[in-house]
Structure 1
Amino acid sequence: MDFQPKKILMIRFGAMGDVLLTTPAVRCLRRKFPHAKIDFLVKSEYAPLLRGNPHLDVVVPFDPKAGLKGLFQMGKWMRTQKYDLIVDLQRNANSVFLSAYSGTSSRLVWNPERWKRWLWVYFRIRLNDYGRPVPLKYLLPLQLLGVEDDGKGLELYIPQEMHQRVEHLLKTSGVEEKKPILALAPGAGRNTKRWPKENYIELGKYFQRQGFSIFLLGGKQDKALCQFIKEAIGPDAWDWSGTSLLETASFISRASVMVTNDTGLMHMASALQKRGVAIFGPTTRELGFFPFRSFFVVVEKPFKCRPCSFHGTKHCIRGHFRCMKAISSQEVIHAVQKLVESENDRKILVRAL
């Protein structure tokens, strides 16, 4: 397609991991159109994940809680911008409405192929092209413009002042500078995606004895869980849950290794090219959300009941929760030790082809 857009708007409202998974598409689009103005429409709470991205011109915050009035105001604003192209990587009612209301005639829309996920999760029918990582799915509509995958991973840019703020916080809190850091992210959006807290406690205690400082990370909703684990581990365990997205990213950037469930912080660590262990239970690689082109190893069990849902559930639908309970603390300890001992071993790189 011989089309040279001068003003482009990309849309992905959330959530945290999904926004970070769009960054390869952002980068590749910029490489194809180096002189175009490329803006990004995203939920206000996730805007900090993109504000430092050098491939974007303007990050446009959107507040869905503003209701219909806010939706129409955003649509009117988009009309005034006269975008040549809209790339909708969300494809929900709001993004479809805004794209149409903007008056932009050229639109590319991501196809989430939910019916293929449905066939895989509930009938174990896997079509030949199913299982492609989500970042590569985001690139598919852009191929019509000649945009190609550059083979690189996710990106996240942390402002220097954020690093300085976190550095000051660590010093005033008494964290020892010379100790290596193990970051733990025990939370998740759904209960069944959480490795048992008792295992995180055992893991933290083991590496505490090995001379590590243990950082507990998560959102405000994870505060009680992180505080419980921190108290159980004891000295040299620090609860930094509930901090801002970029503060959390700065904490992760300081870690030697991260252990996380299948959650947004896993993708954040991937974007920062950190080494880590990802624990997967009800979800699997075929759903597209494995760590993307990063130094991660995945610990999982090959049970036939997996996957049992798209994004995890509140309770195990089969009542046994084997997929998580069967993963022992010792397995994860061994995986972390391997990463610590093999810092420059590129064999551990998870490649999603």
Structure 2
Amino acid sequence: MKILIIQQQMIGDVLTSGILFEALRQKFPKAQLDYLINEHTIAVVENNPNINNFILFTKETKSSKVKLLRLAKSVRNKQYDVVIDVYSKLSSNLISLFSEAKTKISYHKYYTTYIYHHNIKRVKSNDGKTGLAIFNRMQLLAPLGIKTAFIKPKIYVTEKEIADSRLFLENNQIDFNRPLYMVSVLGSGAKKTYPFNYMAKVIETIVEETSGQILFNYIPNQETEARSIFNLCNPETQNNIFFNVFGENLRAFLAVTYHCDALIGNEGGAINMAKALNIKTFAIFSPWIDKATWSLFENDNNVGVHLKDYKPELYTKAEKTLKNKAATLYEMFKPELFTNKLKAFLK
């Protein structure tokens, strides 16, 4: 049996959809399980023992109808028995349509039902323990007779990556006898980034409570923004921030995060990656993001805070409808609202 899973775009989505491979491998141990993903996301699923092959969706494919059609035809030539389209957008609809798989599964959308044999309706609420992102993905396996306990996303770092990253940290004066925290200071965009002055206060609380060492999660082209947050911190806090110690690529970031006691900051891919490494997390959700969907496996080790938790009266409509009001809502989401929860987490 040959099975293809399609999950394009965001790193967090690609990582989360990786749970399907573990469930499929348990059910079909000899199947060929392939993953079609955007090329920049492969780092979070590298070395996954349940995945046989990767098909990469490139920038060129995204910008060219001809190359997209060529990719769709190449997928058809691989003669998959099953295609599971988790992404469920125009490009993946086309790839699924061309695949000629005998079993095609995706989420229910009235305008694409003719493409798929099984159109699964997303649920909008559950027990809240696993997050809807996990629950709805697992539903996609029901047509294959798979009813399994919820699986936690996993990232596989190698022993060499672990050893090299530890040496890197030691060479940069990181003391492994003191707490070490990764702070996700920036979100994927302005509307998913906690205000800089508020983030500085969060970092100051971490240092005051723990005297911990702080690493910033940012990439080189975000240095100006990250530096702005650093400059907003008081001098004592700055002395505990190792600003120039960061992973220069995604695999390096994962290996460094592996050694941290916790990852704290903007909810997004970094939070999900830390959870997949079994690192404790404290996530600050953007006011327009639905916490019920992405607060995965929330417990004492994985805490999430959302403006809706403290000011529910502001939410008379679905969170996603408030995206254009993100800046205004963020201003209301003062760190004082959740400082006690943060302190409890740090303890």
TM exceeding 0.5: yes
- 8 Å Cα contact 2:166/2:259 also seen in 1: no
Q: 2:311 aligns with which of 297, 302, 307?
A: 302
2:334 matched to 1:327? yes
- 8 Å Cα contact 2:134/2:296 also seen in 1: no
Q: 2:106 aligns with which of 95, 102, 109?
A: 109
- 8 Å Cα contact 1:203/1:329 also seen in 2: no
- 8 Å Cα contact 1:86/1:108 also seen in 2: yes
2:146 matched to 1:147? yes
1:206 shift after superposition? 3.6
2:239 matched to 1:235? yes
1:35 shift after superposition? 1.2
Correspondence for 1:187: 186
| Identical amino acids, percent of aligned pairs | 16
Pairing 1:79-98 to 2, within 5 Å after superposition:
79-98=76-95
Deviation readout 1:17-70 (Å, 9 max, x if unpaired): 111121222211221111111010100000121121111111222204332343
C-alpha distance in structure 2 between counterparts of 1:37 and 1:65, whole Å: 27
1:180 shift after superposition? 0.9
Alpha carbons of structure 1 residues 213 and 329: separation in structure 2 relative to 1, 3 Å: farther
1:12 shift after superposition? 0.3
Pairing 1:11-90 to 2, within 5 Å after superposition:
11-66=6-61, 67-90=64-87
The more displaced of 146-155 and 235-244 is 235-244
Alpha carbons of structure 1 residues 10 and 297: separation in structure 2 relative to 1, 3 Å: same
- 8 Å Cα contact 2:81/2:102 also seen in 1: yes
2:276 matched to 1:271? yes
- 8 Å Cα contact 1:50/1:59 also seen in 2: no
Q: What amino acid is aligned across from residue 285 of structure 1 in structure 2? A: K
State the SS of the aligned residue for 2:30: coil
Q: 1:285 aligns with which of 280, 283, 291?
A: 291
1:265 shift after superposition? 1.1
C-alpha distance in structure 2 between counterparts of 1:194 and 1:41, whole Å: 29
C-alpha distance in structure 2 between counterparts of 1:220 and 1:148, whole Å: 43
Pairing 1:149-164 to 2, within 5 Å after superposition:
149-164=148-163
2:224 matched to 1:224? yes
- 8 Å Cα contact 1:154/1:292 also seen in 2: no
C-alpha distance in structure 1 between counterparts of 2:255 and 2:247, whole Å: 13
1:131 shift after superposition? 2.7
The more displaced of 140-149 and 63-72 is 63-72
- 8 Å Cα contact 1:175/1:236 also seen in 2: no
State the SS of the aligned residue for 1:10: strand
- 8 Å Cα contact 2:81/2:103 also seen in 1: yes
CA RMSD of aligned residues (A): 2.8
1:112 shift after superposition? 7.3
State the SS of the aligned residue for 1:139: helix
Correspondence for 1:337: 343
1:109 shift after superposition? 1.3
State the SS of the aligned residue for 2:36: strand
- 8 Å Cα contact 2:178/2:212 also seen in 1: yes
State the SS of the aligned residue for 2:176: coil
Correspondence for 2:114: none
Deviation readout 1:213-235 (Å, 9 max, x if unpaired): 00111345543222222344412
- 8 Å Cα contact 1:166/1:250 also seen in 2: yes
1:8 shift after superposition? 0.6
Alpha carbons of structure 1 residues 128 and 27: separation in structure 2 relative to 1, 3 Å: closer
Alpha carbons of structure 1 residues 191 and 41: separation in structure 2 relative to 1, 3 Å: same
Q: What amino acid is aligned across from residue 47 of structure 1 in structure 2? A: I
Alpha carbons of structure 1 residues 59 and 196: separation in structure 2 relative to 1, 3 Å: same
1:309 shift after superposition? 4.2
1:145 shift after superposition? 0.9
- 8 Å Cα contact 1:184/1:214 also seen in 2: yes
State the SS of the aligned residue for 1:337: helix
C-alpha distance in structure 2 between counterparts of 1:311 and 1:258, whole Å: 29
Deviation readout 1:236-291 (Å, 9 max, x if unpaired): 312356732222222222221221222111111221222121112222334x1213
- 8 Å Cα contact 2:166/2:256 also seen in 1: no
Runs of 5+ consecutive residues of structure 1 not aligned to the other structure: 1-5, 115-126, 342-353
C-alpha distance in structure 1 between counterparts of 2:123 and 2:135, whole Å: 12
Alpha carbons of structure 1 residues 128 and 156: separation in structure 2 relative to 1, 3 Å: closer
The more displaced of 188-197 and 30-39 is 188-197
- 8 Å Cα contact 2:33/2:53 also seen in 1: yes
What is the number of residues matched between the two proteins?
319
